[in-house]
Structure 1
Amino acid sequence: MKVSEVMSRDVQTLAADATALQAAQCLAAHDIGFVPVTRDDRIIGIVTDRDIVARVLADNRDPNRTRLESIASNEPKYCYEDEDCEHVARNMDQLLVRRLPVVNRDKRLVGVVSIEDIRPRSAA
């Protein structure tokens, strides 16, 4: 089974110049734990709820002024929509991540997949 068959296409994203406060509000409003950070429809990073705590609040930075590009992961991990679910599940295990952005072969964001989406399918 391919990732495109199980991924969610409803992905929240935020621009690189959005603030940490906007990210926190987005995460809370959508009950999600991470948001891809984009510039020109390309993923430049990922911000998690933990990033906001560790890189903004713990460092006593102003969440209203801290831009996501300054706290996002530098090298975001992702998978391709046409990859096999079993392969992606193994990669997620190795990376110790529970969710990944999904891109097409032009590296444009098309969805997000969680380990819960693919684990039952990859176990077969």
Structure 2
Amino acid sequence: MEVREAMHAPAQWVDADTPVAEVARQMKAEDIGALPVGEDDRLIGMITDRDIALRVVGEGRDPQKTAAKE
């Protein structure tokens, strides 16, 4: 299997300042569990559904106010 066979097209990404709640909505709409995070046209990381569950919801943070870069 080649990588392109496992990937969705076109590639999706989110801005570093995107609220986590919006990231979750985008993941649901696209049926994906991870999104690259970009800032100033550079990849700075990845955010996963697990990150949202454990680092935002699990820690009692507000998903409307928590940015993807956090």
TM over 0.5: yes
Secondary structure of 1:68's counterpart equals: coil
Q: 1:49–1:67: structure 2 CA closer, same or farther, 3 Å change rule? A: same
Give the counterpart letter for 2:27 in structure 1.
L
Number of residue pairs aligned between Structure 1 and Structure 2? 68
Secondary structure of 1:45's counterpart equals: strand
Trace 1:17-36 onto structure 2 (pairs within 5 A): 17-36=17-36
TM-score (norm 1): 0.50
Secondary structure of 2:36's counterpart equals: strand
Give the superposition deviation at 1:8: 4.4
TM-score (norm 2): 0.86
RMSD (Å), alpha carbons = 1.6
Trace 1:60-71 onto structure 2 (pairs within 5 A): 60-70=60-70
Give the superposition deviation at 1:41: 2.1
Where structure 2 has 5 or more consecutive residues not aligned to the other structure, the ranges are none
Q: Deviations over 1:1-50 (max 9, x none)?
A: x75x6454411110000011011001001000100000122110100000
Trace 1:25-104 onto structure 2 (pairs within 5 A): 25-70=25-70
- Partner of residue 10, structure 2: 10
Q: Which has the higher contact order (CA 8 A, sep 6+)?
A: 2
- Partner of residue 90, structure 1: none
Give the counterpart letter for 1:38 in structure 2.
G
Q: Give me the whole-angstrom Cα distance separating, in 2, the residues matched to 1:9 and 1:28.
A: 16
Where structure 1 has 5 or more consecutive residues not aligned to the other structure, the ranges are 71-124
Instruction: Answer with 1 or 2: which has the greater Rg.
Output: 1
